[in-house]
Amino acid sequence: MMAALRPRRSAMPGFGITMGVTLTMLSLVVLLPIGALVIKGTAFGPEAVWEVVNRPRTWAALWLSFRLSALAALFNLVFGVLLAWVLVRYRFVGRRLFDAAVDLPFALPTAVAGIALTTLYAPNGVFGSVLAHLGWRVAYTQWGIFVALVFVGLPFVVRTVQPVLATMDRELEEASATLGASRTRTICKVILPMLMPAALTGVALALARAVGEYGSVIFIAGNIPMRTEIAPLLIVIQLEEFNYDAAAAIGLAMLAISFVLLLAINLLQVWSRRRIENA
């Protein structure tokens, strides 16, 4: 009787220790900084926070950062999945080189990436000079910010989709073709639903990286207030002016908007997984 009441020991020993270490690291790395930001904003006062946020310059910077980050994440969703498909499904000369180049944004310091992109897309750069002849200007415009955000976010989508593609059973595609489905229908009804949860995870990571990106953007953006000034730069400006309350207020606004966007992506991810399970 007493033996039956004893709790079963886990097959994975050390749960208490590992959970404690995990919660401690999570608190130190994530919860404490966010908590400090919230406390700073609360001490500043809701009305004062709204006064800082409700300025044309602040709204312009927030709108620019989140709009271009969302567009870059959607761009990376499409081309990241295509790039992962090519790297997994095809064998060609230089494939390993292309595969290694995907991780280049992870290896490069953000400032170095910003300088390199500015050099390439400046009016006298390799790509910028060609685009200038066509009447397009990338550097020191919003297009330059978009290019930088695509550059830093693409690896997140590729690396989250690649393992799923590598383990995907090709017999499902063959069965779909045997039943008479066209290639397009097979992609839309069989392949994409299986890739969607991983792809949405990559989009969430790319979006989170893009929203807070600073080093690779400020060199190519031009940093013109109301036009090419991103929200992280506005926070840095406030910190340099020792206006910590205003910086915390803008940080709180970014935190709230980011939370809503990531929550929406997570809900969409849960919906897509349930759809696959019920299919």
Number of neighbouring beta carbons within 10 Å of residue 47: 7
Looking at the predicted structure, is the pLDDT value of residue 276 above 80? no
Q: Are 156 and 75 in contact (CB under 8 A)?
A: no
Q: Residue 61: how many CA atoms within 13 Å on its side-chain side?
A: 27
- Residue-wise pLDDT tens digits, 147-193: 999 999 999 999 999 998 888 877 777 777 777 777 788 877 778 88
- Residue keyed to tokens 């790319």: 206
Distance between start and end Cα atoms, the chain: 45
Residue type, 103: D
Mean of pLDDT values over 102-112: 89
Domain 75-228 has CATH 1.10.3720.10: yes
- Cα Rg of the chain (Å, integer): 23
Ordered by start, the domain boundaries in the chain are 75-228
User: Among the listed ranges 19-23, 82-86, 159-163, 232-236, which one has the minimum average pLDDT value?
Assistant: 19-23
Looking at the predicted structure, is the pLDDT value of residue 100 above 60? yes
**Which position has the higher pLDDT, 85 or 17?**
85
Q: Are 80 and 88 in contact (CB under 8 A)?
A: no
Whose CA is closest to 230, among 74, 70, 57, 114? 57
Binned at pLDDT 50, 70 and 90, residue 17 comes out as confident
Looking at the predicted structure, is the pLDDT value of residue 224 above 50? yes
Whose CA is closest to 78, among 148, 149, 150? 150
Q: How confident is the prediction for the chain on average, in pLDDT?
A: 86
Mean of pLDDT values over 207-213: 91
Q: How far is CA 84 from the centre of its chain?
A: 16
SS3 assignment, position 213: coil
| Res 142: pLDDT | 94
Considering the entire predicted model, what is its pTM?
A: 0.86
Number of neighbouring beta carbons within 10 Å of residue 60: 18
Binned at pLDDT 50, 70 and 90, residue 9 comes out as low
| Res 1: pLDDT | 47
